[in-house]
Amino acid sequence: MPAEWEPQEAIWLQWPSDFERVFQPAFAQMGAIISRYEKLNILFDSPGDQAQARAALEAAGADPDHVNIGWLHIPNDSAWMRDNGPVYVVDNGELRIQNWEFNAWGGAFGFDIPYDQDNRVPSLLGERFDIPVELVDIVHERGNLEFNGVDTVLLNWSTIGDPARNSGYSREQAEKDLKEHFGVSRVVMVEGFARGELTRGHIDGFARFINADTVVVAQCTDGSRCRPGDGDAGSLYDSAAETIAAAGFNVIRDPILGQVEYRDKIFNTKYLNWLVGNGFVIVGGFGHKEQDAAAKKRIEGYFPGRDVYVIEILESWYDGGGVHCHTNDQPAI
């Protein structure tokens, strides 16, 4: 399973429609950046959605007919392609797609959220591009998987072990399955999720590999909404850092320096839900000039030689995710 910082063939998006149209300006910003560096493939649900996408990209300064932008009319339900989209693996030099079951985060956002079309997307892409597809009869989301590209997968047991996703599933069976499907020899599991976190703690929200030996883990401060040792997010992040360090990895703590209020919610200014691409990193920002700038500087240190962009993505934070959650990266082979 290649690491995210390794060479990529493309990045994929499912263009937001219906109740998610409010995400479109941020998607256009992401698309404008990505298409300058590598191939961007955009799935759209209808011709009307494609027209909106093209207009949004133009407004963001991108050319919707750029050679790096591909358009695919494939039915989908949501704009969170990290979680329902393909899990790409390389097996003996051959690219393969794994289609893990997707049930809209165990119904955590409401059982009226459609997901049947999202669940079919990986198989449809495999058929369209003649990539072998393996159906994996386990409910899980790619946002809860971090790989170091060598021998390890890092994830949160609270997500894959959620009874609403996989009833009766054990940690022992999960470790066996993960090793088999990803060809890793080490499975590092943290556990727990912050109050109100409906995904039950996707790992890409608070602990990320930046190289084969180093993981960046969020850290609450006196300025953030969470606090160290608060029995909630602060304790979760500290416990995760201890677990990851005990597994033999270098741990860097990324401080949450403040909080931002948007509509009726208050967010910790947590920046780890970044996307790494060919020569760039896109980070979801909070419209807070000083903290966004400080995060940009820190992340430039994590990924030297890559251009770092911070884009305001408060509407996505409001619905529980960020840049990484919306994107799906395909490795080059």
What is the pLDDT confidence band of residue 301, given thresholds at 50, 70 and 90?
Answer: very high
The helix/strand/coil state of 6 is coil
| Average pLDDT score, the chain | 97
Please state, in angstroms and as integers, the Cα–Cα distance from residue 113 to each residue in 77, 195, 272, 318, 321, following that order.
Answer: 9, 21, 27, 17, 16
Contact 203, 223 (CB under 8 A): no
**For the segment 60-104, what is each residue's pLDDT rounded down to a tens digit?**
999 999 999 999 999 999 999 999 999 999 999 999 999 999 999
pLDDT tier at 289, thresholds 50, 70, 90 = very high
In this predicted model, what pLDDT tens digit does every residue of 168-208 receive, in sequence order? 999 999 999 999 999 999 999 999 999 999 999 999 999 99
Instruction: Please give the average per-residue pLDDT across 25-51, as a whole number.
Output: 98
State the average pLDDT over residues 252-280.
97
Residue 40 and residue 68: Cα distance in Å, rounded? 6
- Residue ranges and CATH numbers for the domains of the chain are 8-331 (3.75.10.10)
Report DSSP letters for 145-166, one per residue: -EE-SSSEEEEEHHHHT-TTTS
CA–CA distance, 9 with 31 (Å, rounded to integer): 15
Q: Which helix (H) or strand (E) holds 325?
A: helix 323-326
Q: What is the pLDDT of residue 291?
A: 97
SS (H, E, C) 70-136: EEEECCCCCCCHHHHCCEEEEECCEEEEEEEECCCHHHCCCCCCCCHHHHHHHHHHHHHHCCCEEEE
Place of tokens 């990290």: 82
**Residue 198: exposed, middle, or buried by beta-carbon count in 10 A (0-12, 13-18, 19+)?**
middle
| Residue percentage of the chain with pLDDT more than 90 | 99
Contact 99, 125 (CB under 8 A): no
Please name the residue that has the structure tokens 């960020």: 322
Question: pLDDT grade, residue 161 (50/70/90)?
Answer: very high
Residue 265 CA, chain-centre distance (Å), reads 21
Q: Give kind and range of the element (H or E) at residue 13.
A: strand 8-14
Arithmetic mean of pLDDT, 109-115:
93
pLDDT the model gives residue 155: 98
The pTM assigned to this predicted structure is: 0.97
CA 49 to CA 185: how far, in whole Å? 43
How far is it, in rounded angstroms, from Cα 273 to Cα 286?
12
| Sheet containing 307-312: order of strands | 275-277, 280-285, 307-312
